Amino acid sequence: MMYGATLGGNGTLVGASANIVAAGISEQHGKPISFQRFLYYGLPTMGLQLVVLAAYVSVAFLRK
């Protein structure tokens, strides 16, 4: 659950403080990031991270 909660915030613009900071810096440089645009890239990336992490946890920690 810890990994899911940590990586789950990467899917949305307001899910993690680093995302908000990055969007603010991007806006200061004239390239604003909308919530929808962030979701377009953030949700697939978050999903891939969670799948890879689930596979890693299954192999590394659940072996008998």
Confidence check: pLDDT of 36 > 90: yes
Helical ranges in 9-34 per DSSP H: 17-28
Confidence check: pLDDT of 62 > 90: no
Rounded CA gap, 14 and 35, in Å? 9
Using pLDDT thresholds of 50, 70 and 90, give the confidence band for residue 44.
very high
Instruction: Count structural domains, the chain.
Output: 1
The domain of 34 spans 2-61
Which residues, other chains included, contact 53 with Cβ-Cβ below 8 Å and sequence gap of 6+?
3, 7
Measured in whole angstroms, the distance separating CA 53 from the mean position of its chain's CA atoms is 13
